[in-house]
Amino acid sequence: MIDVTWIFVLALGFLALVGLLIYFSIYNNLIAKRNQVENIESSIDVTLTKRHDLIPNLIGAVRAYMQHESETLTAIVDLRNRAANHALDPAERMKLEDKLTSSLGKIMVSVEAYPELKASQNFLQLQASLNEIEEQISAARRAFNAAVTALNNAIEMFPSSLVASGMNLERRSVFEIASPAYRENVNVASSFGL
């Protein structure tokens, strides 16, 4: 006959094994959740760096294009206003008209090479890039908040709370907009001095 002691020892051994498997499963799950939070937090940093690097370059490119066009148009308006002055002697007036014709030729070449639609595409590209980066940041923040919530739930719920306390895991804060100023829309026009 089988001794009751052996059954009791086998049962305790089985329970200990199941307990260890549960412990290691919870432990590994907590580690995975913590690493996921850190990974997503890093992706937010990468996306923010991308925004910091890309946006000034786009604004600079558009500003340079607008400045060139603005300078040419300003020169044309100035030449036209000066050439319209009837008090000028005819030779001076002809010089101004030649300059005006040359400037108009330059602007017409520019319009052919960069039609108005092209200028609009620069603004559309800037807007699309800004939107894309902001959407990436928003998606990364949502993923971060979801991962933090999952980690916090695991830290606070029984039985994983027992393992988490042994690992010294603490609640993490979800991303929230801290300042009311961050809730306002970014004024990109101010970057152009508009």
Whole-model pTM: value is 0.61
Q: Quick check: 97 pLDDT over 70?
A: no
Q: Does the pLDDT value for residue 117 go beyond 50?
A: no
Above 80 in pLDDT, residue 28?
yes
8 Å CB contact between 47 and 141 = no
DSSP state of 191: G
Reported as a pLDDT band with limits 50, 70 and 90, residue 81 is confident
Residue 169 φ/ψ region, left for φ over 0, alpha for ψ in the -120 to 50 degree band, beta for the rest: beta
Q: How far apart are CA 141 and CA 176, in angstroms?
A: 9
Q: Label residue 124 by pLDDT band (50, 70, 90).
A: low
pLDDT at 42: 87
